[in-house]
Structure 1
């Protein structure tokens, strides 16, 4: 027999216990929030489950009348709530093969991020990415709805979140717009938290954070390696900090999605040489993050070349630069074209990182100034 919504209190307590055991939930006020806020209230429109064995991934809707629906709301997993930018579970019967564009993030990560934000009573928080509103509700319970401003780029997503928040008795300020631009009205915040990934920390977040305030965001790249960064804003308008570990991943902010590939360049043109590192190195999460530092506007694609073979290609669409790698026996060659040599830059960074002992991302530092964003790692002594 399926539980009713009124029966979720035991599930909330069990979720809090589980998150505490995982180390995500650490303090009493956030435990109170987890036990008080019903996650199912933010999933009334259902979600999409991945169809097992489908490739590309197909999605099918799961609605509140499905057996075990309430229990699944309290599993520690992310639930896709929108695909293709507009389609929600109630719009569909059957399956769909489109890209997820909004979700309810796994509670483990939601709660860990709020804990990592180090909020204190009275703090005002800017949340970038309202999503379903569950994270927003936790913040409202902990700090008070008047202390939360949440920005969502998708008006329909924001509207649904507002209904769900209101049903739980929360009425924070919800803004529809580009969260990367901050909010109008001269707001200053003690904390900024982002539930979408960003290529770079937006200047507006630094400008709207009080000196000594904290920004927490997942820094990503178009090769899809990412990490959670925590930065402190300084009096001089810069921000500095480090990464918290855990291979955190979020959907990229929509304004920072990669450009369409369009027509590919002639991969038989350009200059060819033996590769120092093959593309298999990009299978390592940290090595891929280092490669993104070297080529921040590049994407990695796999092109079929017949016989079940694929050719790895690194391409910067806007610059018109590319690097195509080919296996020759046990070795790789690289052919590069355009105004930059992408694989040269990637290999140079990877070689330095390996020489410095291959430090993990939790050892990296991040500095944001008016001139831009710099990510570095510790160098070997001597």
Structure 2
């Protein structure tokens, strides 16, 4: 490594230590032994305004410096497109990235891992976080699963070049990797809508699952769940509005043909669609309507805010009229009733911050309480 790269890395780690993301000497030593730029040799995409992205390649000015900023760097667009594939700009959705180092290291600290523990990582990505884990624990105690075979291949090559050889698996991370279990810790570097049963089954009683729980309303929080002897798991949210790309098998399906939004039953509502503009309110609402997607339509000269359950077909449309909100709903489930009730419980509790909440997983599903 060049002296300049080492200087940039030391500067970054100093910033992360001062900011509280990097809190122990053990993790600092592991991070100091891993060169992030070696996992970004293929370049990355820089946001170019709006929905546009432009490539930054290894030979471009500023590439090395950007690798050591505390920023997430998009490494793949639209599932297959890499920086070297693009000249100019592209307007598609990012599908893979190198997570900002402060979040990677904060999560590794929050994982509460100790020497000798066996760890399963869901989402290898570029391989940077995998390398830090394996440097701290040893190759034989780290297993990492990546859904995208091309992403997995590039990460494997980068890890091999750096002399790091954990167990790498290509497949659906939501299924875990039973062959390497049971694990003391599971950490997910992708977002999930619900914690998979397989993760609980593959974690030792007393072990921890650290994952970002979110949903199709695009609000998420980091949860640290302890697995219990009876096969349930529970634990606190850690706060900070942590966000990752959702695991691809849990990504929202296309909505297709919209339902007849003139049908249904109307009623006034005390909670208008504007409550969903707040991150925490939206996160809480997802537990009442976990399969709902949101869109805004202009109909008859007014904006209607629509929730559609992609699984059941239930929907709710909300609009303002004469200073009050009206909800119109149809389908097997009354979506807005459920959202209103969930938010009502939160308001009754005094609108506590996310880190005051507990997530519990049982055979009946995933619940949020204060």
Q: Same fold (TM over 0.5)?
A: yes
Distance 1:198 1:125 in 2: 18
Match of 2:270 among 272, 276, 279: 276
Using structure 2 for the length normalisation, give the TM-score: 0.97
Find the counterpart in structure 1 of residue 308 from structure 2.
Answer: 315
Q: Write the deviation string for residues 166-193 of structure 1: whole angstroms up to 9, x where unpaired.
A: 1111011100001110114262111100
C-alpha displacement of 1:370:
2.8
Find the counterpart in structure 2 of residue 16 from structure 1.
Answer: 13
Find the counterpart in structure 1 of residue 236 from structure 2.
Answer: 242
User: Is 2:316–2:328's contact at 8 Å kept on the other side of the alignment?
Assistant: yes
Match of 1:155 among 137, 141, 149: 149
Distance 1:133 1:117 in 2: 18
Match of 1:342 among 331, 335, 339: 335
Using structure 1 for the length normalisation, give the TM-score: 0.94
User: Is 1:16–1:35's contact at 8 Å kept on the other side of the alignment?
Assistant: yes
Which segment drifts farther, 119-128 or 4-13? 4-13
Query: Do the aligned partners of residues 313 and 47 (structure 1) sit closer, same or farther apart at CA in structure 2, a change above 3 Å counting?
Result: same
Find the counterpart in structure 1 of residue 115 from structure 2.
Answer: 121
Distance 1:338 1:294 in 2: 15
Match of 2:106 among 106, 112, 129: 112
Distance 2:44 2:180 in 1: 37
Find the counterpart in structure 2 of residue 304 from structure 1.
Answer: 298
Distance 2:142 2:299 in 1: 52
Match of 1:7 among 4, 22, 25: 4
Q: Which runs of 5+ in 2 are unaligned?
A: none
Distance 1:287 1:176 in 2: 36
Which segment drifts farther, 4-13 or 126-135? 4-13
C-alpha displacement of 1:351:
1.6
Distance 1:125 1:179 in 2: 13
1:375 equivalent to 2:361? Answer no
User: Is 1:5–1:70's contact at 8 Å kept on the other side of the alignment?
Assistant: no
Distance 1:304 1:85 in 2: 31
Q: Which runs of 5+ in 1 are unaligned?
A: 378-382
Q: Give me the CA root mean square deviation.
A: 1.3
Match of 1:49 among 41, 46, 51: 46
Q: Which of structure 1's runs of 4+ aligned residues deviate more than 4 A? A: none
1:96 equivalent to 2:93? Answer no
Find the counterpart in structure 1 of residue 352 from structure 2.
Answer: 359
1:229-268 matched pairs, under 5 angstroms: 229-268=223-262
